[in-house]
Structure 1
């Protein structure tokens, strides 16, 4: 009995699991089967692997070939296991030594001519391999930059199945003009972050900039309402530039999501928070994630540890907006599909922008507005009470009445604002160090209430009694007060900070 084996790694969402691929070459009529809950793309590997191995000079067995992928109860998907299937068959047939792939993870899609194609999700797989103590990996040459992002692994990059056969001690016959270089211990890759605008480029809007700074310092959600052309989109797009740099763990989380989505080569591992701005015609699946079989990440997952900007928020469908309610509270999204459930992280800062009415001119005296009253009500009613209650900061963005000439003078830069945000976040992180909270938005409401002065709490209670705030709104105002206290360099919020926190909560009616 000839059995060959190789290791691969599958992904359920962002959760990796090791797959042992075993090939059994047995007597019988020529037949090639793959078992172990493969999806359609993986089942089609039969034709790809057979042709690729023959292109490398291997004579395919004219007998029965069975490939099992265990654990058999876990669904396997995608073509990233092609190379592991080929390696197990080659090992079973004696083309490579049986122990050559011991403790080695093999990843890659193969083409009919034997070339190895790149895969998505390599970064979380490599992190999982390092955690399990597996140091040897064979990956596609096209994933070389991504493979170099994680240190401490022995990574071999290949372009052709024949190259893998030779590396494992076998003999192959193929076109070696594209033979790759073998790298030992991987070195960190380098990428260039995309350019980002500066807050000093936005004329005026000092109140809104201050609100954005408060949001960045405390991890608060924000809604801006104002007429077209007042600078809402410009301000939101510059928010990542004033946020705290991502920690090492957060960088790897964000990079793993981008690797799964296939966008990591555009960013690499960077400390700049991600920024996602889905169009208002986006479907619910595009926002929260979807797809057949197992769900893929949506915009809220791609904005994990960053900003999700929803421009023209009332133009999003009501159903799409309502799906934000649970992720805003829990920090993750659970998606159930026919082949299983996936959990994706979704701890993002929501920034919304909206016009005051469909035509956009219902501000000031409202003389230019041509909307009917029922249209105005219908327009803003899509932002339901439960959604607005979860938005910590709600500010109006007035039109800019005059601009200067030349370079704007006296405008605060993103660097200066970021410095204040970092100081405020550092104070909060030190205060909550033993609890594991990194900002006021994550802190326990009970703890914040217990350590807030009676005078400040009395102000919140008056707002509750007058129904200016709901109970959730009072909790959010309390968190805002602590953030304002951190920005001011104070130990705890007083009457003034609490008053400003309530004002930031109730500016939009």
Structure 2
């Protein structure tokens, strides 16, 4: 007897449809012969014992027979425990325990416990999207995954807790129709309600120059490096950066949620990422942890920060080989991980915010504390961050120690809401500017060389200022483009179409912390 169920397997951040074909001989044997074929990994092979125990403890007596399960297409590696449910349903169907014989409009996914209960799996949003794209109307999922799956419109999501509930649901479908209403979530309403950041720039005392630099960075999507002594507020400022970024659109929220779901870090109660991610990995992270990896590649921190902020504190403490792998995602906004059997790409359109001390002790150029580091020690410390990586960071800003008078000032600082209003206005100008671009561009930081020439024309005075800065500071061609992009953003914040000397001067100021800072 042959019975077919349908499931899905996640590769990268997308899911492929998998046919679960179950065949049994009908001849009783003294030993259990249960074989799974179709390139299953260890978790899928181990499902044999989970599935048989779950079926038995759900009240079904399956005698020892020859059971063969094929996961098609057979040339794709299958991983994870999400095939438990379709395997169990396929076995029940092959033994005649289901009224519904055609499951072509049902996609089943979930991990089974030995008692027949269902546990959540990772990547459910990708599975729901795949079901919709392939025209499958009904999605049967563990109850813990229901909110995540229901975010996708056009699919009926039925949350279940046990294998018996699944059998009852399918039998009802075979006897005239399902009388249980599918689970529903108003995803766009949830997205609008939960977009709130608890941290606010109003809590930050002093550091007006650094706040201005962060505002420029947020308005143009620019990468930023903050340099200052310990306790100056670099981390405090960085954590508040998401509070002045533009709200997530629904499409951005879906794409970000897919990545978090595949990585297994999505909050099941929310079901949708509603705020721009803020990822802050420790400096002991490996290159695979930062970029992603594994036999079947999984997303790393740069992909988990997609559409948000990746904050690297104590930048020189990261291993140099780890920092160097950031070059591709910073330029291409994607990460490609190649393996012998496959090559997967993950989106990584993040905004890099980094912080570092000016020297190992942290007090180089500090007016209140004496630095005990020698020039060679400082040079070795700084050289851990390569020139090419620094060139890819648009804004370098000094964050000095906050003075006592500023700390005790009674006047409150400007709130994130007012800063965000200016950022939104500047982003609106950029959206209009790039509306007809061939490539999908959303901010000034993404401009190509051709677009820089088109939108960053300089007058004679601004041209002379930029030329003098290039010659005196020894800036690279990449730094030249970064200055023009930042100047374009500064002009957008002021609502001006032409770049002036003041815009170029401020943009150049954000490059003065290049190598010359430690000389």
TM-score (norm 2): 0.91
Instruction: Name the residue aligned to 2:490.
Output: 484
Match of 2:280 among 270, 277, 281: 277
State how far apart, in whole Å, the 1-side matches of 2:26 and 2:154 are. 43
Contact kept, 8 Å, 2:37 with 2:71, in 1: the verdict is yes
Relative to structure 1, the CA distance from residue 94 to residue 267 in structure 2 (aligned partners, 3 Å threshold; closer, same or farther) is closer
Unmatched tracts of structure 2, length 5 or more: 174-178
Of 345-354 and 492-501, more deviation after overlay is shown by 492-501
Query: Alpha-carbon deviation of 1:489?
Result: 0.1
Instruction: Name the residue aligned to 1:225.
Output: 227
Instruction: Name the residue aligned to 1:289.
Output: 292
Query: Alpha-carbon deviation of 1:183?
Result: 4.0
Of 262-271 and 84-93, more deviation after overlay is shown by 262-271
Instruction: Name the residue aligned to 1:502.
Output: 508
State how far apart, in whole Å, the 2-side matches of 1:159 and 1:236 are. 42
Instruction: Name the residue aligned to 1:238.
Output: 240
Query: Alpha-carbon deviation of 1:66?
Result: 0.8
Unmatched tracts of structure 1, length 5 or more: 172-180
Relative to structure 1, the CA distance from residue 404 to residue 469 in structure 2 (aligned partners, 3 Å threshold; closer, same or farther) is closer
Task: Name the SS of the counterpart of 1:66 in structure 2.
Answer: strand
Whether 1:152 aligns to 2:151 is no
Instruction: Name the residue aligned to 1:437.
Output: 441
Contact kept, 8 Å, 1:460 with 1:498, in 2: the verdict is yes
Match of 2:457 among 453, 463, 469: 453
Query: Alpha-carbon deviation of 1:346?
Result: 0.8
Task: Name the SS of the counterpart of 1:505 in structure 2.
Answer: coil
Instruction: Please give the root-mean-square deviation of Cα atoms over the aligned residues, in Å.
Output: 2.2
State how far apart, in whole Å, the 2-side matches of 1:200 and 1:100 are. 60
Relative to structure 1, the CA distance from residue 450 to residue 166 in structure 2 (aligned partners, 3 Å threshold; closer, same or farther) is closer
Relative to structure 1, the CA distance from residue 54 to residue 488 in structure 2 (aligned partners, 3 Å threshold; closer, same or farther) is same
CA offsets per residue over residues 177-196 of structure 1, 9 Å max, x none?
xxxx9541522365856852
Relative to structure 1, the CA distance from residue 226 to residue 495 in structure 2 (aligned partners, 3 Å threshold; closer, same or farther) is same
Equivalent residue runs for 1:121-136 within 5 Å:
121-136=123-138
Relative to structure 1, the CA distance from residue 286 to residue 459 in structure 2 (aligned partners, 3 Å threshold; closer, same or farther) is same
Equivalent residue runs for 1:73-152 within 5 Å:
73-97=75-99, 99-152=101-154
CA offsets per residue over residues 375-399 of structure 1, 9 Å max, x none?
2111111111011010100010111
State how far apart, in whole Å, the 1-side matches of 2:57 and 2:388 are. 60
Contact kept, 8 Å, 1:158 with 1:164, in 2: the verdict is yes
State how far apart, in whole Å, the 2-side matches of 1:440 and 1:304 are. 17
CA offsets per residue over residues 297-340 of structure 1, 9 Å max, x none?
21111100100000111111111111111111111111234653
Whether 1:184 aligns to 2:182 is yes
Instruction: Name the residue aligned to 1:39.
Output: 41
CA offsets per residue over residues 333-391 of structure 1, 9 Å max, x none?
11234653322111111111001111111124586112222221111111110110101
Instruction: Name the residue aligned to 2:176.
Output: none
Equivalent residue runs for 1:200-349 within 5 Å:
200-265=202-267, 268-291=271-294, 293-337=295-339, 339-349=341-351
CA offsets per residue over residues 119-141 of structure 1, 9 Å max, x none?
11111211222233222000001
Instruction: Name the residue aligned to 1:178.
Output: none
TM-score (norm 1): 0.93
Instruction: Name the residue aligned to 1:25.
Output: 24
Instruction: Name the residue aligned to 1:175.
Output: none
Relative to structure 1, the CA distance from residue 138 to residue 257 in structure 2 (aligned partners, 3 Å threshold; closer, same or farther) is same
Query: Alpha-carbon deviation of 1:461?
Result: 3.8
Query: Alpha-carbon deviation of 1:506?
Result: 2.6
State how far apart, in whole Å, the 2-side matches of 1:388 and 1:457 are. 24
State how far apart, in whole Å, the 2-side matches of 1:169 and 1:271 are. 37
Task: Name the SS of the counterpart of 1:58 in structure 2.
Answer: coil
State how far apart, in whole Å, the 1-side matches of 2:417 and 2:273 are. 17
Contact kept, 8 Å, 1:150 with 1:188, in 2: the verdict is no
Instruction: Name the residue aligned to 2:475.
Output: 469
Contact kept, 8 Å, 1:453 with 1:494, in 2: the verdict is no
Task: Name the SS of the counterpart of 1:506 in structure 2.
Answer: coil
Of 459-468 and 270-279, more deviation after overlay is shown by 459-468
State how far apart, in whole Å, the 1-side matches of 2:491 and 2:323 are. 32
Of 4-13 and 99-108, more deviation after overlay is shown by 99-108
Instruction: Name the residue aligned to 1:176.
Output: none
Instruction: Name the residue aligned to 1:374.
Output: 376
Task: Name the SS of the counterpart of 2:329 in structure 1.
Answer: helix
Instruction: Name the residue aligned to 2:13.
Output: 14
Task: Name the SS of the counterpart of 2:446 in structure 1.
Answer: coil
Query: Alpha-carbon deviation of 1:108?
Result: 0.3
Of 336-345 and 312-321, more deviation after overlay is shown by 336-345
State how far apart, in whole Å, the 2-side matches of 1:26 and 1:485 are. 75
State how far apart, in whole Å, the 1-side matches of 2:476 and 2:406 are. 42
